[in-house]
Amino acid sequence: MPNLLVVDDDVMMLRYLRTVLECEHYQVATAASGAEALQELRRRPLPDLVLLDLLMPGMDGLETLEHLRKVAPLLKVIMLSGAIGAREVVQAMKLGAHDYLCKPVVQAELVATLKACLEIPQRTPGNPEVLEELDSDSFFLAASPAMHKVYDQIQRIAEVDVPVLITGESGTGKEIASLLLHKLSSRAQKKFLKVNCAAIPEDLLESELFGYEAGAFTGATHSKPGQFELADRGTILLDEIAEMPPRLQAKLLQVLQEQKFFRLGSKSSVTVNTRILAATNVDIEDAIKQGKLRLDLYYRLNAFNVCLPPLRERREEVAPLFRHYMKRLAYLYKLPPRALTDGLLRACMQHAWPGNLRELHNFVKRYLVLGDDVAMAAELFSQNGAADRNTIARMQGANSSDLKKMVREMKGEAEAEAIAQALEQTNWNRKQAASLLNISYKALIYKSRQYGILRPKAPSQKLVTMSAASPEPVRLSGGQTLS
């Protein structure tokens, strides 16, 4: 049963709304002012939605809304007013209101608006994507169970104002995750700064992080604030934290414990309120054993840990990531976007992507410029072992015409393999498999019949596929047979 908070200085309106909403099976709490509403949020669990009057004495609705967004950025708010104008609507939407209703409130309209705002999209195979636009260059995408878990975890910890350690292989999107954490936190309107600890020499890193006073060293003609001061009340990401020299790790530990530090050459401390996120792609245990990462610093940073899976463990996201990258890069380079053809999609789905998102991004960029989907698919096939050594050798020595012919001959085998893997992965749920392959349900049925892909009669039996183009049996990965 959804929990609602109704905020209005009109006592009769509060009674009316409570009665209507309780009849619709909502749990309702009320507040007669903005200040009282903020108190309710502090002493009770967060409601699912707030109905907020615009015109109230003292703290009005817009001011209250601004405070609500700081306390709980994800809280859904519907504005109420008998005299709401275009300017107020625009301002309310800018501050994060989801919708607005005019007084006198009509019951049917109120109920419909609440249902629309409270409806939670189901993460079904037909609607698998969560997309968060972060800035003009960055977005967060979750289209796999693994990344949905990461997204849910980030949502939960964004408002818990403690350090977070983000781990994962190089290129998995650790900076993207940190940007999302910042966006969903109460610090979203303040600065987000990133410092790459591996890219800055030790003697410069200290002054970069903590700043310095005039005369602190040769060339310091004036005082300069460090990144921690510049990110005050905001968020700072310390990338490649295991590469930070141990001496500076000790100073960082002081900032985490006391939120105080000394500029270089200063005798007075600087106090900051900066949320610290740290990221690394190294094995934490090995880094601690080798003395690269202080154990006490690790315990302070690891209040929460977000671990990003590699792209090979979330292949459902290859196609949507490809399309989003293509859209952005085409706009950036003022080129027409290239289509993700069936052959190229199969090659992408079978590739291991050891460079993760960074490798995929660069691959899309090359495809946008070169425009040859057959050659790009052959490049991936040659890397991921989908073709045998003799085939690869022939492809490398072939001219353009022969190359296209060879790749087309491999189409049936690659397509059958991809369909078989998708069906196994989804436990023979054909709708899920079609969504995973980004094809229609009818197309999956047709191609399954075309290649003779049969459902195993026993758990130990492997999928068997047939291809008219390949009369001789061909062994697929995982013991499958293409015959």
CATH of residue 243's domain is 3.40.50.300
169 in the same domain as 214:
yes
* Residue 168 confidence (pLDDT): 94
Tokens of 346: 């199969």
148 in the same domain as 101:
no
Residue pLDDT tens, the chain, 483 long: 788 999 999 888 898 899 889 888 899 999 999 999 998 888 777 888 999 998 888 888 899 998 888 777 778 889 888 765 556 766 777 777 877 788 888 888 888 888 877 764 444 444 468 888 887 778 999 988 889 989 988 988 888 888 999 999 999 999 999 999 999 998 999 999 999 999 998 888 989 999 898 888 887 788 889 899 999 999 999 999 999 998 899 989 988 888 888 888 888 889 999 999 999 999 998 999 999 999 999 988 888 899 999 999 998 899 999 999 998 898 888 888 898 988 888 889 889 999 999 999 999 999 999 888 888 888 887 776 544 444 444 444 444 445 455 555 555 666 777 788 888 878 888 888 887 777 888 888 888 887 778 777 654 444 444 443 443 443 444 444 433
479 in the same domain as 433:
yes
Looking at the domain assignment, is residue 156 inside a domain? yes
43 in the same domain as 178:
no
Looking at the domain assignment, is residue 429 inside a domain? yes
| Ordered alpha helix ranges (H), 164-245 | 174-184, 202-210, 227-230
276 in the same domain as 163:
yes
Tokens of 51: 């109905």
Looking at the domain assignment, is residue 483 inside a domain? yes
What amino acid is encoded at 339 in this protein? A
Looking at the domain assignment, is residue 125 inside a domain? no
* Residue 122 confidence (pLDDT): 43
Q: Are 313 and 146 in contact (CB under 8 A)?
A: yes
Measured distance CA(278)–CA(259) in Å, rounded: 16
Q: In this structure, what CATH number is given to the domain that contains residue 102?
A: 3.40.50.2300
* Residue 423 confidence (pLDDT): 87
Looking at the domain assignment, is residue 142 inside a domain? yes
* Residue 320 confidence (pLDDT): 92
Tokens of 134: 């972060």
Q: In this structure, what CATH number is given to the domain that contains residue 368?
A: 1.10.8.60
Each residue of 13-53: pLDDT tens digit? 898 899 889 888 899 999 999 999 998 888 777 888 999 99
Q: Are 350 and 318 in contact (CB under 8 A)?
A: no
Sign (positive or negative) of CA dihedral 30, 34, 40, 46: positive
* Residue 84 confidence (pLDDT): 54
Round the CA-based radius of gyration of the chain to a whole number and report it: 28
422 in the same domain as 385:
no
Sign (positive or negative) of CA dihedral 415, 421, 422, 427: positive
373 in the same domain as 281:
no
Looking at the domain assignment, is residue 124 inside a domain? no
The residue out of 308, 338, 363 marking a domain boundary is: 308
Q: Rounded to whole angstroms, what are the CA distances from 167 to 29, 134, 141, 318, 352?
A: 41, 20, 17, 21, 20
Domain with 325 in it: 315-409
Q: In this structure, what CATH number is given to the domain that contains residue 421?
A: 1.10.10
Each residue of 261-288: pLDDT tens digit? 888 888 888 999 999 999 999 999 899 9
* Residue 391 confidence (pLDDT): 44
244 in the same domain as 114:
no
405 in the same domain as 420:
no
247 in the same domain as 169:
yes
* Residue 409 confidence (pLDDT): 53
What amino acid is encoded at 18 in this protein? R
Looking at the domain assignment, is residue 361 inside a domain? yes
Number of domains in the chain: 4
52 in the same domain as 7:
yes
CA of residue 123 relative to chain centroid, distance: 15
Looking at the domain assignment, is residue 396 inside a domain? yes
Q: Are 453 and 420 in contact (CB under 8 A)?
A: yes
Q: Rounded to whole angstroms, what are the CA distances from 39 to 7, 78, 183, 210, 447?
A: 12, 19, 24, 37, 60
Tokens of 5: 């908070």
241 in the same domain as 173:
yes
